[in-house]
Amino acid sequence: MEKENLKPEESLSIITEMIETEKIRFGENGFIYRFWGWMVIAGSLLQYLLMYIEYQHHYYAWFLMILGGIYTGIHFSKEKNRVSMPLSGKLMAYTWTAIGLNAFVVSFLLPQTTGQFLLMFILAFIGIGTIFSGAMLRFPLMILGGVICNALGFVSIFTPFEYWGLYSIIAVTFADLIPGYVLKAKFQKKNV
């Protein structure tokens, strides 16, 4: 095989094409970000409703996340059978699985132990995952959403519990919903 010397522009073009091909193979249409964004908003609003009616176990609203996790597993098991997942997709899947398991442990098994730091841990996990996903997709808007999510997690340490649902809604709006809808628009534009 003959060795070919490429100009820097040609090398960059090949790398860019590989990244775009990887995104298309991964089928990133933003669905999972929109899905989880709306799940968190539903959990936050349901918890506020339960607090409003003075239900003692208002935190039960977050058991919706378990249903979301089951649905996500089923959704991606069907997707996996249609298209082989590229390396970036596998890395993001493992990362988000680890984040989900850690958030579950902190939220459902250690809530009294984490106390005032509970939302900070959850939003930090989500922020890190969002920054990682944004970097893998080369999507600065998602990276910014992850930074906002992380920042709100740290702000939550200094605010009353009653505002945590609002912080969660703002965090997922920037970390999941806005990037998810932008990805959907880009995906639809490419596949028209």
Q: Distance between CA 36 and CA 159 in Å, rounded?
A: 24
pLDDT (0 to 100) of residue 25: 45
Please report, for residues 17, 25, 34, 110, 131, the alpha-carbon distance to residue 40 in angstroms, rounded to integers and kept in the order given: 35, 28, 10, 19, 18
Confidence at residue 18, expressed as pLDDT on a 0 to 100 scale: 59
| Contact of 151 with 170, CB cutoff 8 Å | no
pLDDT at residue 161 tops 60: yes
The answer to whether 41 and 178 have CB atoms below 8 angstroms apart is: no
pLDDT tens for each residue of 138-147: 889 999 999 9
- Mean residue pLDDT of the chain comes to 83
Q: Model pTM?
A: 0.77
Least confident window among 2-6, 88-92, 162-166: 2-6
Q: What is the pLDDT of residue 10?
A: 66
